[in-house]
Amino acid sequence: MTFTRRTFMQAATATGALSAFARPALANIRWDMADEYGAQALSGKASTFFLSELEKKVGDALTITYQGGGALGYKSVDHFDAVQDGAVQAAVTLVTQLGGIDPFFNLSSLPFIASTPEEAFLLWQAAREEYAKIFEDNGMVLLWAMPNPPSGINAPRPITSVDALKDLRIRTYDVNGTETMMNAGAAPLQVAWSDLIPQLSTGGIDAVLTSADGAMQLSLWDYVSDFTEMNYAMGLFMCHVNKDEFDALPEEVQAAMLEIVPACDAYNWEIMRDSIDAAYAKMSENGMKITLDDDVPAEVFDFLKAAGAKVKEGWLAETGDRGAAVLAKFEELKATAG
């Protein structure tokens, strides 16, 4: 498994690794990294950090070109097959788009399971081995995760009553959100990131389930007036690479790539936390009203949690012992941390 391999690989010193990379035979390996989102999105910033840290360790032994904004023609839903088949060597993928491949990928977007960044990190730690196994079984290596900030509702009105959800034509980003919003009486439509603005512009949808950072990236204030903080879920992006391509790398490059994973996770959670206040400030500057969760009546949360509970039950039925074990481990980690 990826993260146990990292343990003994750390024995190589930075000096020894860098001297090894001076040999011409190790230079000029080139990869592409696909990302449906852009360089200014959190997934892009996470990718930039990863590539910068990797370059510090390996120099030009491996050059990975970040292909953001869907430059290679792939959306997140396409990444699993594209990397598995070697069409692209690496990708950063919103894994909640991969539930059709394995329902376990829907874990991070289960509504109201992890309600803080700290809990989202513990959930990632609890599930990491299972995620890594899925990728490994399909010819890939899992590296790091980038959490989305907590999802809220961008809409023409604040979501401060149950009635505000009724028949709301809201964009969702995966099956969990679609089912939850449908259970809550809304009219959800699952829409890819790249198709979101056209849907808003043409009236196909009138609300968006996404984070404040997502709202800022797309200037959603041009289309809706309100953002209601829900702390609904923090879906994960994951960086994964083709295993054959990874195994073909010099051992020193493999080791360096694995060694920087903890630093990538730490950086990614830090920028996620920082992004929340920054996005709220930008949204407010552009006239968007922010309704914090403390100002949302408890009955709204109770209603949404009841709608989401059915989704959790369905997920557990699909994932069986795997899902139950990970949620139990998550509860143990929370108890220890608390």
Residue that terminates a domain, selected from 224, 245, 274:
274
pLDDT score, position 194: 85
Q: Are residues 23 and 158 in the same domain?
A: no
Q: Are residues 225 and 238 in the same domain?
A: no
CA dist., res. 134 & res. 150, Å (int): 25
pLDDT score, position 13: 33
Q: Are residues 226 and 330 in the same domain?
A: yes
Q: Are residues 41 and 99 in the same domain?
A: yes
Q: Are residues 45 and 108 in the same domain?
A: yes
Q: Are residues 329 and 203 in the same domain?
A: yes
Q: Are residues 145 and 155 in the same domain?
A: no
- For the chain, where are the E strands, in sequence order? 29-35, 62-67, 90-94, 140-147, 151-155, 170-172, 189-190, 207-211, 226-228, 236-242, 289-291
Q: What is the CATH number of the domain that holds 241?
A: 3.40.190.170
Reduced DSSP (H G I as helix, E B as strand, rest coil) percent helix, strand, coil of the chain, to 5: 60, 15, 25
In order, the DSSP letters of 292-308 are -GGGS-HHHHHHHHHHH
pLDDT score, position 192: 87
Q: Are residues 268 and 215 in the same domain?
A: no
Chain segment 301-325, per-residue pLDDT in tens: 999 999 999 999 999 999 999 999 9
CA dist., res. 85 & res. 137, Å (int): 13
Output the furthest CA–CA distance in the chain (Å, rounded). Answer: 67
Q: Kindly report the backbone phi and psi dihedral angles of residue 154, in degrees, each rounded to the nearest multiple of 5, phi listed first.
A: -95, 120
pLDDT score, position 28: 83
Q: Are residues 14 and 107 in the same domain?
A: yes
Q: Are residues 28 and 128 in the same domain?
A: yes
Q: Kindly report the backbone phi and psi dihedral angles of residue 33, in degrees, each rounded to the nearest multiple of 5, phi listed first.
A: -125, 120
Q: What is the mean pLDDT of each run of 10 residues along the chain (338 residues)?
A: 33 36 59 96 97 97 97 96 98 95 96 94 98 98 97 97 97 93 96 91 95 94 97 96 98 98 98 95 98 96 96 97 98 92
pTM: 0.86
Number of structural domains in the chain: 2
- For 73-185, where are the E strands, in sequence order? 90-94, 140-147, 151-155, 170-172
Chain segment 13-65, per-residue pLDDT in tens: 333 343 334 444 445 899 999 999 999 999 999 999 999 999 999 999 999 99
Q: Are residues 142 and 191 in the same domain?
A: no
326 lies in which domain range?
A: 151-232+278-337
Amino acid in the structure at residue 4:
T
- For 150-293, where are the E strands, in sequence order? 151-155, 170-172, 189-190, 207-211, 226-228, 236-242, 289-291
Q: Are residues 120 and 212 in the same domain?
A: no
CA atoms within 13 A on the CB side of 258: 25
CA dist., res. 241 & res. 64, Å (int): 11
